[in-house]
Chain A
């Protein structure tokens, strides 16, 4: 009896389930996003912290770029220069050590609090004292926890004075100040959210300068303000009604975490998102036929390279280093693997940066490579390992490289791994060959020059872990030249110094630089004013509107 009832009930259940399936099916789809809201499908799982003193990730840069303002920003019309953002004007003292910034009048934070030079000074102070990942961009100017309140201070409410330790090229100093780490934080607001800390040898201060609170909140004056960040789910920005410039056109911007390219494409075509940010080449191609969707792209300051560890004595031979540069099938890679997401680029400075050398001398030439290998006494080739992160396009490039290098008798064993795993090995200098990418830390030639062309201490205990160090490439001369370029006041002369370094890199470095990343976005055509910037922190959303 009981079972019969259960059987009957389960039949009812089934009928119910079938009914609800019909019900669901009969509903109209809301395939349009709200008129005042921008919805972007974006892989945002790299976000760790929204605190500009700590943030160093790609998606975070876009959020902080829209939620915080800086003293100066990259001039999008000519990215080798900067222009004032919060600063109305600035002067550099004759000795090249003191920078005086005059703030625009009547500035306010999103909170409504007035923005003064004291906020700027405190923002710099907390970066230096917290000493998180990106702090070096400021501390390289000789700032320490002990001197910061002297070196970065407010002369009055609208005058901020910044003192550096050497007569650096002004272009270098200003470019660094345009990085996320130079964001101006609302001192009054953050002060309400300080967390008490116990001073120790490692951390000498009694509070956390609001670091914990700022990880998930914003306290800036940018065109938008962070409403919410739910990890792996969404980032939500609301328009800042107190913004000093032209206000954001849409009331709200939502970045919805979507990891899958195909999922983004489907949602974009259906209209559930306005912008798809992580489309792979095949989806980009497919979407090109859709009349409701347009695509846009911009080169970004990230270069992909293969590097040869100089601890391996075969890889350390100059001829072998050069041979590898002829063993990459640039053309095939460019037309397939990185189509739409990258362009061939062989020098270490990306396009758009001061001093970029626009030369791509290498192409696949197995005969030439064999000749070089013979000179190195390795006529019969040799075997090496290569650590490869399991993700595209890196895996595809590694496989292509494995095949072309094989033609010259070099047997490459690919060791696949997760990103953090290969990186751990790379940082410990335990690899033979590594394939990876490097994004600029700030929009200045020194960022990449320093890592690709300087290595102050090649010992295993070396404290400056540049890419040259990671590959044990000992280059005292180039290190000096890189340092000298920092002090060249004349921007044109400075540019030439970097070009010389890039030439040297092409001829001697253990870096086989392959391509520069292009960021692309597919957007619904009712969207106006969408533009990707030259860097990840200049993808501004304020100009975007809907028709």
Chain B
């Protein structure tokens, strides 16, 4: 098969649509089963951990009768199976209960903290992809060369050095010494009360409202943690790009393209990368989903109020509603991204076009 004729081929019409519909159906089924499994696992983990959830509500000093009363109020005296039934019923209607710690409904909290993580993960993945893919291509093309070795080392370091250590190092250098970036949190104190976010994605909100000074400040805050996450995913993406590219470059159509006299640049970037891009999308999507889980360490180091920090803090305070709600939302996003990337795979893979 050749990439040259693949983009002249007409879509396969109804057969292809049916294929996609089938795929969607299958994935919905998988998604639903996975989701139910997720609910069951989170529920039972929440109940078997040796932590008394009443402690979270009352703290250490409450009297025994107050503890008992609260236990009843929280429904913890009911049989386990009944608790599970109530839990699933509520979760299916999007009600994960109220966070003990923030006293808000868990969904409200997640709507507040998740955008911070999404924004960070998106910028991070952009950085990782925009640098990682070209690096991987370069390493594949110059296989075995000095450049290949350098890219390998860069990748290895990014993947193996603890991110909180890199984060602190980055802060010491770019924040404390050079003062290029800002810290802590998402915005400087001066803007905290002059700026009203709409979507919770500060960069978008600031640009939308034309508050360019806020935009700049938000950029200065996000750039270092995002670059770190980007570096982390770059490491993975560049390695995978390299191996996919090596695979493609060994194919016959490359020889054919060279024989046709196409320029090397065009062969690499337009032909080989295009075919390597198909599996690469899954890699990037998974790495993105990984970042969306909230990089707890990054968020802690940078005082970034995202979902990773939210869930960790809830966990430490035995705030089980928040932990379970957060886990389920992340799980759902994970499932959705998987589904999406598989669908994209179907769209981009030319083989699915001719049924």
Which residue numbers of A lie inside 8 Å of B, CB to CB? 1-4, 7, 10, 13-14, 17, 20-21, 23-25, 27-31, 33-34, 37, 39, 41, 45-49, 56-57, 131-134, 136, 202, 212, 215-216, 230-234, 236, 254, 256-260, 262-263, 266-267, 269-270, 272-273, 417-421, 423-425, 427, 441, 463-465
Contacts and interface: CB of A to CB of B under 8 A. Distances in A.
B185 A256 contact: yes
Q: Which 10 A-B pairs have the closest CB atoms?
A: A29-B179, A231-B102, A3-B270, A7-B269, A420-B318, A25-B180, A424-B52, A420-B51, A233-B305, A3-B274
A423 B55 contact: yes
Contact of A270 (B49, B113, B176, B313): B176
10 contacts: A1-B270, A10-B133, A33-B189, A39-B189, A231-B101, A266-B175, A266-B183, A417-B50, A420-B56, A420-B318
A424 B50 contact: yes
Given A7-B273, A48-B100, A463 B55 contact: no
Contact of B183 (A46, A134, A230, A263): A263
B59 A56 contact: yes
Contacts of A419: 316
Interface in B6-30: 7
Interface in B298-343: 300-303, 305, 309-310, 313, 315-318
A134 B101 contact: no
Contacts of B171: 263, 266
Contacts of B104: 231
A216 B62 CA distance: 21
B64 to A, nearest CB: 5
A424 B55 contact: yes
Interface of B: 7, 49-52, 55-66, 69, 72-73, 99-104, 109, 112-113, 126-127, 130-131, 133-134, 168, 171-172, 175-176, 178-185, 188-190, 192-193, 216-217, 219-220, 223, 266, 269-271, 273-274, 300-303, 305, 309-310, 313, 315-318
Given A48-B101, A202-B69, A266-B171, A3 B316 contact: no
A132 B184 CA distance: 35
A37 B103 CA distance: 28
Contacts of B126: 17
Nearest to A430: B50
B97 to A, nearest CB: 15
The residue in B179, B216, B273 that gathers the most chain A C-beta atoms within 10 A of its C-beta is B179
Contacts of B73: 202
A57 B269 CA distance: 59
Nearest to A32: B190
Nearest to B220: A24
Given A29-B179, A215-B103, A424-B52, A14 B303 contact: no
A269 B176 CA distance: 8
Given A4-B269, A420-B317, 8 more contacts: A3-B270, A136-B63, A216-B103, A258-B184, A272-B183, A420-B316, A421-B50, A464-B64
A240 to B, nearest CB: 18
A14 B134 contact: yes
Contacts of A21: 223
A511 to B, nearest CB: 16
A420 B55 contact: yes
Nearest to B313: A45
A133 B60 CA distance: 9
B270 A423 contact: no
A125 B335 CA distance: 51
A56 B219 CA distance: 38
B174 to A, nearest CB: 8
A49 B270 CA distance: 59
B216 A30 contact: no
A14 B131 contact: yes
A34 B189 CA distance: 8
Contacts of A17: 126-127, 130
B109 A231 contact: yes
B280 to A, nearest CB: 13
A26 to B, nearest CB: 8
Contacts of A31: 179
Nearest to A462: B64
Given A232-B310, A418-B51, A24 B316 contact: no
A37 B181 contact: no
The residue in A13, A25, A134 that gathers the most chain B C-beta atoms within 10 A of its C-beta is A25
Contacts of A273: 184
A41 B185 CA distance: 11
Nearest to A438: B60
B60 A233 contact: no
Nearest to A7: B269
A381 to B, nearest CB: 29
Contacts of A48: 57, 59, 100-101, 317
Contact of A256 (B60, B189, B317): B189
B351 to A, nearest CB: 17
Given A21-B223, A212-B103, A263-B303, A418 B316 contact: yes
A417 B52 CA distance: 14
A41 B220 contact: no
Nearest to A46: B317
A35 to B, nearest CB: 11
A62 B128 CA distance: 43
A270 B175 contact: yes
Contact of B266 (A4, A13, A230): A4
A234 B220 contact: no
Contacts of A269: 176
Contact of A463 (B64, B181, B271, B274): B64
A3 B188 contact: no
Contacts of A257: 303, 305
B66 A131 contact: yes
A424 B51 contact: yes
B60 A423 contact: yes
Contacts of B183: 263, 266-267, 270, 272
A394 to B, nearest CB: 14
Contacts of B301: 260, 263
A463 B192 contact: no
Contacts of A133: 58-59, 61-62, 66
Contact of A232 (B58, B192, B305): B305
The residue in A34, A216, A256, A424 that gathers the most chain B C-beta atoms within 10 A of its C-beta is A424
B270 A421 contact: no
A37 B194 CA distance: 14
Contacts of B168: 262-263
A84 to B, nearest CB: 28
